Amino acid sequence: MTRRVRRRTCREREGKVVRGASRVVSAGPEGEEDAAAVEVDWRALPDDTVLQLFARLNYRDRASMASACRAWRALGSSPCLWRTLDLRAHRYDREVASSLASRCGSLRRIRLRGHEAAEAVLGLRARGLREVVADGCRGLTDATLAVLAARHEDLQSLQIGPDPLERISSDALRHVALCCSQLCRLRLSGLREVDAEAVGALARCCPLLEDVAFLDCGTVDEAALAGIHSVRFLSVAGCRNLKWATASTCWTQLPSLIALDVSRTDVPPSAVSRLISHAKTLKLICTLNCISVEEEQLHNPAVFSNSKGKVVLTINSDIFKSFETMFPVVDVKEHEFFNQCNWSHKDKIPGDTMTWLEWILSQSLLRIAESNPQGMDGFWLQKGTTLLLRLLKSLQEDVQERAATSLATFVVMDDESANVDPARSEAVMQNGGIRMLLDLARCSRESAQSEAAKAIANLSVNTKVAKAVADEGGITILINLAKSMNRLVAEEAAGGLWNLSVGEDHKAAIAVSGGIKALVDLIFRWPAGTDGVLERAAGALANLAADDKCSLEVAKAGGVHALVTLARSCKLDGVLEQAARGLANLAAHGDNNDNNAAVGQEAGALEALVQLTSSQNEGVRQEAAGALWNLSFDDRNREAIAAVGGVEALVALVQQCLNASEGLQERAAGALWGLSVSEANSIAIGQGGGVAPLLTLARSEVEDVHETAAGALWNLAFYSGNALRIVEEGGVPVLVKICSSSRSKMARFMSALALAYMFDGRMDEVALVGASSDSSSKSVNVEGARRIAFKHIETFVLTFSDPQMFSMAAASSAPAALSHVAEAVFIHEAGHLRCSRSEIGRFVSMLRNPSPILRACAAFALLQFTIPGGRHAVHHAGLLQEAGAGRVLRAAAAATTASIEAKIFARIVLRNLEHHQLGMST
């Protein structure tokens, strides 16, 4: 009998609202509130409805709700709510057990994780406990298991795995047998030994024992197992030291054996044939991933055909047809295959067998997915994926969760690089797996939510699957899970958002759905020790911060403070790397928003990033250097970074990273490039030993590395002392090589400018007395270096010269001719360079230099910096006008001693200035 929820309704009078009521207001067509406002008094809910609400909560939330009032406190202690208890998702120890003990008198089934939790079960005082399911119990000892059995004599089912029970011996098995005479099911994993005495004790003392599984055990006494006459379902999957001649002879004598699982063993085909021929009651043998059996079946497909209605399941079997052969009287559709309700039969054998088979399949498929043996692609694509998705609909909770875990596992090819097999992940999608996993993620069981979210996260590495997840509403589901108070659920949900946020199409959807705030809240909700949650949340925020609009939302939601908090206080490398990456991305948008300045102004941000450049982890150093590089584009940040020791730290980093990854080399050089815009920083970098390692990086064959190093050297060369150091350290040949052979136009351009700075005459005075006050400068041939530099500067400029086009432009006064030249010679990346007043003044001075090569180089540079559409073109045009450059440019354009290139470039710069002046006047 169902009961309808009773609600009290009344009209709102005099602005008063009933306490404890929820007010529901409907709006009319004009948007006006309905006069009759419905108020729901939750205290008036029927008791059975409240009990159903309690039943859907974990024990912590149940306790919180029970504290609402005296009536709910009484209901919250009802025995029907405490018959089963799942403690895997929360901390469970003796203290928690003591607080729960008063409610657990009727406890019958418990699920837990960890050997500490197993030890704490004793504190529940649940003498009537019937079933224990535990995982993660690698540290479980004989003593704990023996006491657990002694305190719970009515135990009927004991399952511990899949982690190996390395500290459990046959002594503990004997104690279980002696204490638990009602035992029906015993499933244990990874025992070192299962000897004859322990098995004999089980046979003598447990007459009801019908389901036995010793998985991945070192040794098992095969002959002794034949003494357990009550056993109907037996699994020795993963046991590699069995004597198959003995086993296949003895096990045929088991009078009740219905199904046998020898998956992942070295069972020979002859043993399987013997069992089929001689075991009278045996109906099913599972041999998944048994190499010898599969090879025999490949060469002789009919090897097990004369099986008298018995079935041998291999990875190539059609399980549905096999079960039709076993139980022809049961009519079940294939899509409802793993629904035990459809296998009800008067002798119970089909239903019991199906229940056992689901468990066995989920175990073996997970183990196969974890080991990822070669040659399994065909199985996963043709049968394995469908099997896992069918198991996802099982009525057994642990089977459901294990299927989800397998889906999360079998698609991953490489954990380190997060490489996901595209065919496998898309097979899940094409068979409707995304909707199934999302439905499972929305159930009330936190353990299922966690495993489903993990599978969704891993599958979402594939962009096609990520789109399907988003289209099916997965973003909202993951955001809701990220708000969970269960750490494992929140962690896996954050991982899903991390992977989804890689796609540009999904960033905005995550932001609109409230994902940014949920991720920021996660960082503040969990302590620093929960590295999984923090790394995933920070990684997702870092991805979102890479988008211009989303970066504003990240900052608005408190993301800057959250990431800086992690960078300052966390000790875990993965978290620190993602936090630094997030700050780098927030600061990467330049003038588009204020995040760059906001990060720099956040208390402790710059100090933390500078400190991270000395981390032992290369990924952390790389992201910290990248963040400092981006932050150094802001004038205030640049000086603040130097004030907290940033120059010294980055010089040390660039000295240490010469044999490191290309990414770290690029970012370290880039950070020095950004800081060296300042005169004081530039001089400090030169005096601190930054020139030599930058020249080493400039020799790199990697384009990004030598381009960034060239940019730093260009800034450093502006100051005469640094220019001489570059010459003394052998920098001229390095810059010449970049100038002449780099595939990067930007690298060639900046190296040419560095050479021009070095030899425009300002270094000569310093060269006479040495670059350093201690007169320790090296002896160099400055004049020879000058000749080499000028030769390659000229060659570089001439590479942009087209004699025919330039002649036409020289002869014509039409603006179109100059426009064609400007378009041909413009280096688009140069439009992002921003020069100071003193740098622009130096180029103007070069236009007066006696050297026609320097005049041509200066005109070429000014063309790049002022071309319309350049990011800082208006800024540069204003500086040129302040410097009175028009007269100098006209003189350069008319000089008889100037090359045609210098004249044309000067005319284009004049045209650019006129364009900008006209734009400002309008």
For the cut 80, the answer to whether the pLDDT of residue 138 exceeds it is: yes
> 412-414 and 185-189 as β-strands: parallel, antiparallel, unpaired?
unpaired
**What is the pLDDT confidence band of residue 6, given thresholds at 50, 70 and 90?**
very low
Higher pLDDT: 730 or 28? It is: 730
How far apart CA 334 and CA 894 sit, in angstroms, is: 89
Looking at the domain that runs over 46-81, which CATH code has it been given?
1.20.1280
Residue 543 has pLDDT above 90, yes or no: yes
If we measure between CA atoms, which residue out of 632, 529, 536, 523 comes closest to residue 578? 536
Mean pLDDT on 63-84: 76
808-817 pLDDT tens trace: 888 887 888 8
Q: Supply φ then ψ for residue 37, to 5 degrees.
A: -90, 130
What does the alpha-carbon distance between residue 210 and residue 230 come to, in Å, rounded to a whole number? Answer: 5
pLDDT digits (tens, 9 = 90+) for 856-898: 999 999 999 999 988 899 999 999 999 999 999 999 999 888 8
Residue in the block written with tokens 């096990």? 251
Strand, helix or coil at 658?
Answer: coil
Can you tell me the mean pLDDT for 158-168? 93
Which amino acid makes up residue 506?
H
Task: Give the per-residue pLDDT at 302.
Answer: 74
Domain boundaries, the chain: 46-81, 678-766+781-796, 800-921
Q: Read off the pLDDT band of 4 (50, 70, 90).
A: very low
| pLDDT tens string 345-383 | 545 667 788 899 999 999 999 999 999 888 888 899 988
Task: Tally Cβ neighbours within 10 Å of residue 635.
Answer: 11
Whole-angstrom distance, CA of residue 896 vs CA of residue 731: 34
Q: Which residues contact 631 (CB under 8 A, 6 or more apart)?
A: 583, 587, 596, 599, 600, 606, 609, 637, 638, 641, 674
Tell me the angle at which helices 463-471 and 422-430 cross, rounded to the nearest 10 degrees: 20
- The residue type of 499 is N
d(CA 508, CA 512): 6
Q: For 252-278, what is each residue's pLDDT tens digit?
A: 999 999 999 999 999 999 999 999 888
Residue 358 amino acid letter: E
Q: What is the mean pLDDT of residues 789-795?
A: 96
pLDDT value of residue 531:
79
- pLDDT one-digit tens code per residue, 20-70: 333 333 344 444 444 444 565 666 778 777 777 777 777 677 777 777 777
Tokens of 145: 């298991």
Whether residue 622 contacts residue 661, with contact meaning beta carbons closer than 8 Å, is answered with yes
Q: Say if residue 476 is exposed, middle or buried (CB neighbours under 10 Å; 0-12, 13-18, 19+).
A: middle
For helices 605-612 and 635-643, angle between their N-to-C axes, nearest 10 degrees? 60
Please give the average per-residue pLDDT across 286-294, as a whole number. 92
pLDDT at 115 over 50: yes
pLDDT of the residue at 239: 94
Bridge partners, 211 (sequence order): 185, 233
DSSP 554-583: HHHTTHHHHHHHHHHH---HHHHHHHHHHH
User: How far is 689 from 304, CA to CA, in rounded Å?
Assistant: 77
pLDDT tens across 447-499, in order?
A: 899 999 999 999 999 999 999 999 999 999 999 999 998 889 999 999 999 99
Q: Tell me, which fold does domain 800-921 have in CATH?
A: Transcription Elongation Factor S-II; Chain A (1.20.930)
The CA–CA distances, whole Å, from 411 to 272, 385, 432, 450, 458 equal 31, 10, 16, 17, 7
H or E element in which residue 220 lies: strand 219-220
Mean pLDDT of 597-612: 94
The pLDDT score that the predictor gives to residue 88 is 83
Which of 154-158, 368-372, 437-441, 814-818 comes out lowest in average pLDDT?
Answer: 814-818
Quote the tokens at residue 846.
């070069």
Q: Which CATH superfamily is domain 678-766+781-796 in?
A: Leucine-rich Repeat Variant (1.25.10.10)
Q: For 135, which DSSP code? A: E
In whole angstroms, give the CA distance from residue 195 to residue 238: 17
The mean-pLDDT minimum among 31-35, 162-166, 900-904, 918-922 falls in 31-35
At 40 the pLDDT is 58
Distance CA 77, CA 155 (A): 23
The answer to whether residues 519 and 494 touch, using CB atoms and an 8 Å cutoff, is yes
At 487-542, the pLDDT tens digits run 899 999 999 999 999 989 899 999 999 999 999 999 999 876 677 899 999 999 99
Of the candidates 644, 894, 887, 860, the one whose C-alpha atom is nearest the C-alpha of residue 752 is 860
Q: Which two tokens stand for residue 133?
A: 């399911």
Which is more confident, 90 or 483? 483
Task: Give the pLDDT score at 530.
Answer: 74
Strands 38-41 and 21-24: what pairing? antiparallel
Weakest-pLDDT range from 18-27, 414-423, 785-794: 18-27
The span from the CA of 555 to the CA of 587, in Å, is 11
The per-residue pLDDT of the chain, averaged, comes to 87
